Every structure is written in structure tokens, then in C-alpha cells.
Chains A and B, each alone.
Chain A
Amino acid sequence: MIFSFDLLINAVVSGILIGGFYAAVTSGVSLSFGILDIVNIAHPAFIILGSYVAYAANSSLGLDPILTAIVMMPAFYLLGAGIYQVYYTSFEKRGQESLRGLAFFFGLLFITEVSLVLYFGVDYRYVDARYIGPSWHFGMLDIPLRILVPYLVSLLLMAALQIFLTRTFVGRAIMAVAQDQLALRLMAVDPIRIKRIAFGVSIATASLAGAFLIIIQPVEPSVGREYIGRVFAICVLGGMGSLPGTVIAAMLLGVVESLTSTFYGPSWAPAVSFGFLLLTLAVRPAGLLGR
């Protein structure tokens, strides 16, 4: 192993860029798991669904994946709101969300994945767009546009979500529903409606994250599993429900993963995120910017 400065800088920069993408992937889980306390382990499956929607629109109509994803966000929002309604009436209302709610989402994960396998097959799929392929060079730095574009749009998404949560009435109600449902009810706000909106928004982000994913790498239905650990590691590490914490944790994880795969080989990279997760859970369960 020859240690080279070039390699190090490139690994760090690509880690930060990938980290921005991880932040977009995790934002949905930060909303559902971090704020609403709904352990949506099926979130990565919805991200893959987003990837396939972008793929279908791109391969048949030649549409831009990110544009498709933005157009499809309302549909994903409705899907999320519907799922929350089922979840609420079957589990939260009865107070059984812990065990059966988890199993419910696990089942959804499986159904989504197997349906995609049956419909699209297990071949790797990819999209075409103008920014896939070329790279920018700054001295020794080498930045592929296929990673830079998702990174920038991710940061926009995170900023928009943060503004939504802190500046708008509904957003602040979402933050409040995590703290005290009864108080929210006394303010004449229906906590169930607020939670439905929040869960809808969390699934809507999956549409965009899915488009980023298929821009960055070819996708097949079971790719989502790799992201289960990653998103929860980032969510817990960043501090449950804190979007700035999510961005920091995502970039940290991106850099560590990128360094690991550059200097030790890519086969070790998956263990990094899970090692991080186990370590965080054991040492500081509140996360970096925990409330």
C-alpha cells in the first residue's frame, strides 16, 4: 500500500460528495424515525422504487431523472400518506406499533423488492443524462459530474426541508408532534393529520433520493438492503431528527467509507457504516447533535 497525497485528497472529496447524497437518502428516515418515531425500515425499498420510476421515465421517454423525481414527488407523498393511515389505524391506535409495526414495514420492504424483481428482473439498470460521464478537473482533484449534481441538489433538498420544518406552521407542528401530542391537540391541531403529512413528506424525499441513486450507480432491486444500515447509522449518529446533524453524520460516514474502500478495498466498506452504528449505539445513543 503506497500512501499518496493525491489519493487521500480525492478520497476525502468524493467522500464528502457521496455524503451529501447519503444525507438526501437519510432525510426521509430522519423525519419518520427521528421525529415521528415510526421505524420505517422499508424506506430504502421506496428509494429503489424511486430509482425504477426514474429509470422507466428515462428509458422510455428520455426524461431527466431528477426532473422526473421532482414531478413524481406528489405521487410518493400520497403513497406515504396512505401507508401512514394504514399504520395508524392498525398499529398506533391499538398501541401495538413496536413489534407488529416493525414486522409490517419489514413485510412492505419484501413486497416492494420482490415485485420489482418480478417486473424488472434482477439486471442492473442505469439512466442516461448529459451530466453522466464527464468530470471536472481541478489540479489533482477529479470530480465526476454524476456525483456533483446529486450532491448539489441534495443540499438544496436538505435546506428546503430545514426551512420547511423551522419556518412554516405545518413544519413547526411536525416538530411539536414529536414532543407533545396532547399540547398540539390543545392548540387545535390534529396530530394524526400532522403525522400523515410528515410521513408523506418523508416518502416524497425517497423519490428524489432514488433518482440520485440511479444517477450515481446502476441499480438492481436488492441494492436497497445496503442502505438500511447506512441510513439508520446516519440517522442515529446525527442525532435523531436533527437535519443539520444528519448532513454532518452523512458526510462523516461518506468520508470514512471512501477512505476505507480506497486504502483497504471496497469489500470492507459495508462494515464501516454498521460498525459506526454499533459504536454509536453503545457509546453515545443521543448522536452528535441529539436533542
Chain B
Amino acid sequence: MRTPTFLLICLAVSAAVFAISVALGNDYIFFAGYVVMQYVVLSTAWNILGGYCGYVNFGSAAFFALGAYSTVAIYKLITENDFYRMPMPVLMLIGGVVSGVVGLGMGYLTLRLRGAFFAIATLALAVVLQTLIVNWDYVGGSRGAYIIRPEQIEPIGSYIRYLFLIMMLLAVAAVTIARLIEHSRLGYGFATIRDDELAAEASGVPTLRLKLIATTISGALMGMAGAPFPYYIGYLQPASTFGLDYAVNSIAMPLIGGTTSWVGPLMGALLLGSLQQIATVTISSAVNLLIVGCLLVVFVVIAPNGIVGLSHTYLQRKPEDFVGRRPVDADASGKVP
């Protein structure tokens, strides 16, 4: 399928989802749907680096929070100086740029090292950034910051509908970008890094540059997902914005869905995201994190290629048909198994 056709189909589906949600007439659907869409963006963004290149990022929350806090900083600037109010897409772009730049810098510092160091450094980054935000009084420090959400926006109606619509469009954009990357030179380059970085380097693949591109795109998308968050939540506080649940969700969703293609994170996020929304309402929010943790462990142990991999085995198609899938018997370090 060509990209414009794919995009049109995605937009049509989104329009249908939005129309149905409006027809149901309950605003809670928008609140829950916003979170699910936000996880679609986060898990797709995580997968561009984690699934395609094989570099695990534990700092999703940091990139997400950077986007959110850049919105807070701009909001303060505007309300204090009485500037022109910026529309949400502009705020998202700014959040994306900030997170993208941080992603680039972070990648530059650590991507020359082995994969595990990168993973640990991303964890470290999250705490350094959290400490900076906690000590930065302008954006509220550890007390947190209040954002007043406008009641209405023309012509959509209540503001939460507008936020949901925007997040859904961002999700469509993210999925399209991921799909585009997958079938491009860039995607094949990413796959060589995941399969055997040394061999890729030896064959002339510019691995460092490709990895930097991946961290930047991935970071920028996470930042964009975070930018509208202050308007959604109303009160932003460092401990919850940098919370480990964003990190665990954005890792668990692609791994449960399947990391090799754009379908995996999308399915993982839709399934797990909805499940969590239901579990939060019906059981408790602590239990829903336990569910995510258990599902993550069970899936990585039993179904290494996620739901997508399972469906392929079920449909009796060779998983090798998938672009860039890693062969099972080979070992990167050449160890005797």
C-alpha cells in the first residue's frame, strides 16, 4: 500500500472513531481515549529506536516530561507577559524540538558504547532532568504547576474533545512515520544495526549517524506526545510526570504487540491502553501496573515476537517474511550456544 493511501485510510478511521465518540455523548470517552492515543504515540516512538535499532530506552518518561514542561514554561511566559496565546500544534512542535535536541545530545554522549550502557544512561537522564525540574522554580519546582484549561474551543466544542482529536492526529502521524521508515533505506539501515552492528559498520553503514537520527525522531515524537499533557491533566507535578509507568508502558506495549513492524506498537498500545483504562476504573491503578509488568514478563519469555509474531505462527506464514527480522540461531557475539 502506498503511503498516501495508508494515510487516507488512517484519517478515515480516526474520523469514524471521533464521530462515534461524539455520538456516544459522554466526555469520559475522550479522557480515556486521549490516554490510549498518547500511548500509541509513545510506544510507536519507542519502537523506532528500540524495535528497529535494538537500543532500549528506559527514559521515555523524561522525553515525555520535557515536552510537557516546555508547554508549562511557555504558558507561564504567556500569562505573565500577556503575549499572544499559542495554538496547541505550535506548542507540540516546540515540545518536539526540545525533546528531539535532548535525544540527539544524549545519543551523541552514549551511543558509541554498547547497548546496555545506552539503556542505563537513559535511566540516568530521566533522574538528572527530574532533579533539574524539581529545582527550577519558574515551572513550579517540586510544588507542581497549574494550567487553566479553556472551557470551549470553536468549532469542536469542549476542550477535551479538541485534545483528543489532536492526539489522535499525532498518533496517525507517528504510525505513518514509523511505517515510512520501515520501508525506506533508513529502516533497512536500522535493521542492520539491530541484527549485527559490527557487520553493518564493516559494510559501510553509517551506524552512529543512523542511531542519532533514530534517537532524535523517537525523542521528538515523545516530546510532542507530552506537550498537550499539562492542558489535559490541569496540574503538573514532577514525580508523576517523570513516573516510571510511562517508561514501563512504552516498553511493554511494543514488546507485547511485536517490535518488528509498526503494527505491533499500535496493537499493543490499543489493547494494553484500553485494558489499563478499564482496570483503573474497575479495580485499582496499582493493580493495573502489576498487570502490565506481568504481561511484559510473560510475553518476552513465551512470545518473543509479540502478538504479531503469534498471529504469524498461527496463520502458518514464515516469520522470515517480515522485513529485517533477526535470525533465531545466530548470535551477535558469535558465542557457541
Contact = CB atoms under 8 A, between A and B. Distances in A.
A225 B245 CA distance: 12
Nearest to B329: A95
A52 B329 CA distance: 42
A93 interface: yes
Interface string A221-243: 01001101100110010000000
Given A275-B128, A282-B109, A118 B287 contact: yes
Contact of B294 (A107, A109, A232): A107
Interface stretch (B6-14, B111-119, B167-175, B216-224): B111-119
A194 B326 CA distance: 29
A41 B123 contact: yes
Interface of A: 33, 37, 39, 41, 86, 90-91, 93-96, 98-100, 102-104, 106-111, 114-115, 117-118, 181-182, 222, 225-226, 228-229, 232-233, 236, 267-268, 270-271, 273-275, 277-278, 281-282, 285
Interface in B127-158: 127-128, 130-132, 134-135, 142
B78 interface: no
A114 B116 contact: no
Interface stretch (B88-96, B181-189, B274-282, B296-304): B296-304
Contacts of A100: 255, 300, 304
Contacts of B116: 33, 37, 39, 98, 102
A104 B115 CA distance: 16
Contact of A114 (B110, B124, B289, B300): B289
Contacts of A281: 109-110, 113, 117, 121
Contacts of B292: 110
Interface of B: 50, 54, 56, 58, 109-110, 113, 115-117, 119-121, 123-125, 127-128, 130-132, 134-135, 142, 244, 248, 251-252, 255, 259, 286-287, 289-290, 292-294, 296-297, 300-301, 304, 326, 328-332, 335-337
Contacts of A102: 56, 116, 119
A93 B337 CA distance: 6
Question: Which residue, of B119, B124, B142, B293, has the highest number of chain A Cβ atoms within 10 A?
Answer: B124
A111 to B, nearest CB: 4
Contacts of B125: 274, 278
B244 to A, nearest CB: 7
20 contacts: A37-B116, A39-B119, A90-B300, A95-B335, A102-B119, A103-B296, A104-B296, A104-B301, A110-B244, A110-B289, A110-B293, A111-B294, A181-B335, A226-B127, A232-B120, A236-B120, A267-B134, A267-B142, A271-B128, A274-B131
Nearest to B117: A281
Contact of A98 (B58, B297, B332): B332
Contacts of B255: 100, 103
A39 B113 CA distance: 14
B127 A274 contact: yes
Question: Which residue, of A91, A95, A104, A275, has the highest number of chain B Cβ atoms within 10 A?
Answer: A95
Contacts of B109: 278, 281-282
A271 B132 contact: yes
A72 to B, nearest CB: 24
B285 to A, nearest CB: 10
Given A102-B116, A232-B120, A275-B128, A182 B300 contact: no
Given A181-B335, A270-B131, A110 B248 contact: yes
B124 A274 contact: yes
Contacts of A109: 293
A268 B131 contact: yes
Contacts of B297: 104, 107-108, 111
The 7 closest A-B pairs by CB, nearest first: A110-B293, A271-B131, A95-B331, A107-B297, A107-B296, A274-B124, A111-B293
A106 B287 CA distance: 17
Contacts of B130: 270
A107 B248 CA distance: 8
Question: Which residue, of B130, B142, B255, B330, has the highest number of chain A Cβ atoms within 10 A?
Answer: B255
A274 B10 CA distance: 41
A228 B123 contact: yes
A233 B120 CA distance: 9
Contacts of B124: 229, 232-233, 273-274, 277-278
A267 B337 contact: no
Contacts of A182: 336
A273 B126 CA distance: 12
B50 A95 contact: no
Contacts of A267: 131, 134-135, 142
Contact of B286 (A94, A104, A117, A278): A117
